[in-house]
């Protein structure tokens, strides 16, 4: 995971504070951020809050992170890796039960998001303002799309799925659908799905899109 993590001055990441727990500070900032995000939206958290929470002064905060956003980015980086890995694993753990394999991929992403609702909301709000967050998000979505497209193509190749639009295009649509539906559902917005129905509904759309025909019955006279 080589994302633009916060490095203080020089390029390489070598800072190893010996005595007074300098690296602890970084961790303290991170956990403070996670904690505060659970209580109020990112916009209502100032650098000062983060600093005080970590037991340091505001200027000192800037020794560790270039900005508030960078903290969220660092947090996000971890979670994104988690999601990616757990999803790939689920997809690889396919076996012969195709349906279970798709379900596993959906479930992997869902559970990761669910475990980090607060962070996810913060990320969503940065999506609009931070190019770095946008890049990170694009990267993970790209990975999902790539993987999904490959799976669709494999299914088409073995004759299980019908032809249609480019696999990648379907994958783009399906993965963004997931992103949004999962997000609104866990962020408590509307219109959303019930948390318990989430996976079933998404899975239905995925399966019908990948395997289903798109020829509607003609209208009755």
Partner DNA sequence: AGACTAATCGACACCGTGTCGAGTCGCTCG
Partner DNA sequence: CGAGCGACTCGACACGGTGTCGATTAGTCT
In the complex, which residues of this chain contact its own copies (CB under 8 A)?
A: 41-43, 96-99, 121, 124-125, 127-129, 134, 138, 141-142, 145, 155, 158-161, 164-165, 169-170, 172-177, 179-181, 184, 189-193, 197, 200-205, 207-220
Rounded least distance, CB 165 to DNA, Å: 43
Rounded least distance, CB 85 to its own copies, Å: 19
Rounded least distance, CB 12 to DNA, Å: 11
What are the φ/ψ torsions at residue 197 (nearest 5 degrees)?
-95, -15
C-beta closer to its own copies: residue 2 or 43 = 43
Residues 6+ positions from 201 with CB-CB distance below 8 Å: 181, 193
Q: How far are the Cα atoms of 106, 129, 185, 203 from residue 207, in angstroms, in the given order?
A: 12, 35, 21, 6
Residue 189 interacts with which of DNA, its own copies, none, CB < 5 to 8 Å by class: its own copies
What are the φ/ψ torsions at residue 201 (nearest 5 degrees)?
-65, -50
C-beta closer to its own copies: residue 60 or 189 = 189
C-beta closer to DNA: residue 67 or 101 = 67
Q: How far are the Cα atoms of 14, 29, 184 from residue 18, in angstroms, in the given order?
A: 12, 18, 44
Any contact of residue 59 with DNA (CB under 7 A)?
Answer: yes
Write the interaction track for DNA spanning residues 1-30; mark x where CB under 7 A is met and - where it is not: -------x------x-xxxxxxx-x-----
Residue 46 interacts with which of DNA, its own copies, none, CB < 5 to 8 Å by class: DNA
Residue 207 interacts with which of its own copies, DNA, none, CB < 5 to 8 Å by class: its own copies
CA 75 to chain centre: 11
C-beta closer to DNA: residue 21 or 204 = 21
65 by DSSP, 3-state: which?
A: coil
Give Dmax (Cα) for the chain: 83
**Own/partner pairs, 208-216, CB within 8 angstroms, 24+ separation:** 209/170, 209/173, 209/174, 210/102, 210/152, 210/155, 210/161, 210/170, 211/155, 211/160, 211/161, 211/162, 212/162, 213/162, 214/164
Interface with DNA (CB under 7 A): 8, 15, 17-23, 25, 46-48, 56-60, 62-64, 66-68
């Amino acid at each position: 995971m080589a994302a633009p993590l916060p490095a203080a001055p020089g390029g390489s990441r070598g800072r190893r504070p010996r005595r007074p727990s300098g690296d602890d500070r970084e961790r303290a900032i991170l956990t403070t951020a996670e904690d505060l995000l659970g209580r109020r939206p990112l916009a209502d958290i100032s650098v000062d809050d983060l600093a005080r929470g970590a037991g340091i002064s505001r200027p000192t905060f800037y020794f560790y992170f270039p900005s508030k956003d960078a903290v969220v980015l660092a947090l996000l980086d971890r979670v994104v890796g988690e999601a990616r890995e757990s999803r790939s694993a689920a997809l690889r753990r396919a076996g012969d039960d195709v349906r279970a394999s798709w379900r596993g991929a959906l479930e992997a992403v869902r559970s990761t998001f669910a475990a980090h609702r607060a962070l996810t909301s913060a990320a969503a709000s940065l999506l609009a303002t931070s190019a770095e967050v946008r890049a990170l998000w694009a990267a993970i979505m790209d990975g999902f799309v790539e993987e999904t497209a490959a799976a669709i193509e494999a299914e088409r190749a073995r004759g299980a799925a019908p032809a249609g639009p480019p696999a990648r295009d379907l994958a783009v649509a399906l993965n963004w659908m997931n992103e949004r539906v999962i997000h609104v559902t866990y962020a408590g917005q509307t219109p959303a799905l019930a948390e318990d129905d989430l996976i079933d509904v998404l899975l239905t759309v995925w399966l019908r899109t990948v395997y289903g025909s798109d020829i509607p019955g003609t209208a009755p006279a």
